[in-house]
A = this chain, B = another copy of it.
C-alpha cells in the first residue's frame, strides 16, 4: 500500500529514511525558531549537553547580576575591602549565587534600596528558575522510552515448506518488563519503472505481529511467499531498488507504566542472505534462564531454502 504521508518523487538517490537512532532523516526549513518547542529540545538533548546549557545559563545570569551589583557599588553588599575590579566582580558573583540559590549566608547582604531591589528580583528569579529546572529534570527522567537491542544484521533465512523468510531479532536491554509487544515492518523502495522515480512504502505481513510477554528475545519473521514484495527477488534486485526496512516496535513498559516505542531500519547491505540466528539464551544448572546480550547478533550460515 502506498503511503501518501511519506511518498514522494525523487530525482536523485537518497539516504536512509530512519537513522539508526530512530530519528527521521529529514531537514526542516522555513520555520521561525519561535515555533520550535524549547522544552522539547531540553528534554531530547543529551545529559552532557543539558548540564552544559544549564550551567552556562546560571553563569550568565549570575554574571549579569554581579555586574549590576558592581554598578550599584559592592560596598552596598557589605563588602568594603576589595579594591581591584576583579575582586569586586568575584565577590559580587559570590553574593549573586548566594542570593540565586537562596543560601543567603548574610555575611554579604544588600543595603540601601537599589541593592535590596536587585537582590529581591534575583531571589525571585532563582526561585522560578529552580522550579523550571526541577520540571525539566523530571521531564527528562520520566520520558518513557524503549531500549531494545536489534540484531546487527537482518537475515534471509530458510522457512517452512521450502520458502525463505526475512528475520531480525530483538531483546529488551532495560531491567523493566515489556509486555503486549507489537511489531510493524515497512519496506521502502524506489520504484524505477516510471520515468520519475517514486518511493513506495509497502507493509510486510509478519508470521506474528504480537506477543503478550517478552522476557527473552523475539525473532520477527516475514515469510517470503507470493504476497511478499521479496518474492522471487534476488539480493541484487533489492539493492537496485534501494530497499530499506522501517521497523516500529511498541510495547507496555511496567516501570514507566506506559507504552514505549522503538524505531529501527535495515538497509540492503545489512541483510545477510542465507543465514539463521543461533540461540542467545540458555537454562543454567539451577534451572534459571539466562539471556546473553553479546550473542543477540550471532548467526550461522545456511544455504537458503
CB within 8 Å of B: which residues of A?
A: 3-6, 8-15, 17-18, 22-31, 35-37, 39-41, 43-44, 54-55, 58, 78, 90-91, 93-94, 97-99, 101-111, 113, 116-117, 119-120, 123-124, 126-128, 130-139, 141-145, 147, 173-177, 179, 181, 184, 186, 201, 203, 207-208, 211-219, 221, 246, 248, 252, 254-258, 260-261, 263, 279, 281, 283-295
In the assembled complex, 5 residue pairs joining A and B whose CB atoms fall closer than 8 Å, in A order, are A5-B213, A26-B215, A30-B294, A94-B116, A99-B103
* A142 to B245 CA separation, bound complex (whole angstroms): 33
* A174 to B109 CA separation, bound complex (whole angstroms): 45
- Taken together, the copies of this chain in the complex come to 4
Question: A255 contacts B3, CB within 8 Å?
Answer: no
Chain B residue numbers with a CB within 8 Å of A143 are 255, 257
Chain B residue numbers with a CB within 8 Å of A109 are 105-107
Question: A279 contacts B8, CB within 8 Å?
Answer: yes
Question: A215 contacts B17, CB within 8 Å?
Answer: yes
* A86 to B90 CA separation, bound complex (whole angstroms): 31
In the assembled complex, the CB of A208 is this many whole angstroms from the nearest CB of chain B, namely 6
User: Given that A90-B113, A106-B107, A290-B29 are contacting pairs, would A212 and B252 also be in contact in the complex, using a CB cutoff of 8 Å?
Assistant: no
In the assembled complex, the CB of A245 is this many whole angstroms from the nearest CB of chain B, namely 13
* A261 to B6 CA separation, bound complex (whole angstroms): 20
Chain B residue numbers with a CB within 8 Å of A28 are 175, 290-291, 293
| A105 contact from B8, B27, B104, B184, Cβ within 8 A | B104
| A126 contact from B101, B105, B181, Cβ within 8 A | B101
